[in-house]
Structure 1
Amino acid sequence: MSFPTLTHIAVTVSDLDASTRWYSALFDSEPVLDEDEESGDFHHTAFELDHGTLFGLHKHTTTGPAEGFDERRAGLDHVAFAATQGELPAWEKRLDELGIEHNGIKHAHYGSGISFRDPDDIALEFFAPPPE
Structure 2
Amino acid sequence: MAPFPGIQHVAITVTDLERSTAWYTNLFGAGPVLDEDEESGTFHHTVFALDGGMLFGLHTHMGAESSEPADERRTGLDHIGFALPGFVALEQWAARLTALGIEHGGIKKASYGSGISFRDPDNIALEFFIAPGT
Which amino acid letter does the alignment assign opposite residue 72 of structure 2? E
Whole-angstrom CA distance in 2 between matches of 1:66 and 1:47 = 23
Whole-angstrom CA distance in 1 between matches of 2:7 and 2:24 = 19
Paired residue total = 132
TM-score by length of 2: 0.95
Give the aligned partner of residue 89 of structure 1. Answer: 91
Give the aligned partner of residue 79 of structure 1. Answer: 80
Alpha-carbon shift at residue 67 of structure 1 (Å): 3.5
Q: Runs of at least 4 residues of structure 1 off by over 4 A?
A: none
Whole-angstrom CA distance in 2 between matches of 1:87 and 1:65 = 35
Sequence identity (%): 61
TM-score by length of 1: 0.96
* Residues 3-42 of structure 1 mapped to structure 2, 5 A cutoff: 3-42=4-43
Gaps of 5+ in 1: none
Give the aligned partner of residue 108 of structure 2. Answer: 106
Deviations 1:74-111 (A, max 9, x none): 00000000012221110000000100000000000010
Which amino acid letter does the alignment assign opposite residue 118 of structure 1? D
Deviations 1:38-80 (A, max 9, x none): 0011110000000110000001114244543111110000000
C-alpha RMSD of the superposition = 1.1
Whole-angstrom CA distance in 2 between matches of 1:105 and 1:62 = 37
Gaps of 5+ in 2: none
| C-alpha contact 1:92 1:105 (8 A) present in aligned 2 | yes
